[in-house]
Amino acid sequence: MAITKDIVGKKLDRFDFTVERGKIKEFCLAINEKNPIYFDVEEAKKAGYSDVPAPPTFPTVIMFWGYPKIWNDMAELGIDLSKILHLKEEYTYHKILYPGKVYAQSEIADVKVGRAEIVTFRTTIYDEKNDPILSAEMAIFIRKD
């Protein structure tokens, strides 16, 4: 099964995820980030934040821990999981991502077929008032044999 352009615009399930201070700390320890604003609420407040912010690439945590169904969805869309490579990741930030409940929804933003097959997913992460916090674009490249 191959991918087709017909899937452009298809929406994946909306889901929610609770960003926890402990998860931010764990993520920062894993990437060697040592800035105290990510670990200590008081330090964050001194720097002008209302709580510990999540670092720039933290949205990946929301995707993988919040929506593990992404793998099944990709397979159902005709993407061969054994052949994918991460090609691009882009974040546009509207607000600071803080601990608390967020909602997320992904859709297929673009598909390229032919010699190089590329699928781009756009995910928007919203706060509880449904205001967008950030949008992420992930492009995957499907290797050919």
Partner 1 sequence: MAKIEFDKVEVGQTLPPLDVPVIEHANLVRYAGASGDFNPIHNDPDFARKAGLDGTISHGMYVMAQVGRLCTSWAEQKDIAYFGVTFKAMTKLGEKLTIVGTIKKKFEKDGKKTVTVLVEAKNEAGEVKAGGDLVVNAV
Contact indicator for 68, 17 with CB cutoff of 8 Å: no
b/e per residue 87-116 (b: at least 16 CB within 10 A) = eeeebeeeeebbbeebbbebebbebeeeee
4 vs 47, beta carbon nearer partner 1: 47
The backbone torsions φ and ψ at residue 130, rounded to the nearest 5 degrees and listed phi first, read 70, 20
Please report whether residue 57 would count as binding partner 1 according to CB under 8 A: yes
Only segment of 8-16, 48-56, 104-112, 118-126 that touches partner 1 (CB under 8 A): 48-56
Least Å distance between CB 128 and partner 1? 20
Binding site for partner 1 (CB under 8 A): 23, 26-27, 29-33, 35, 37, 47-49, 53, 55-57, 60-61, 63-65, 68, 82, 85-93, 96, 137
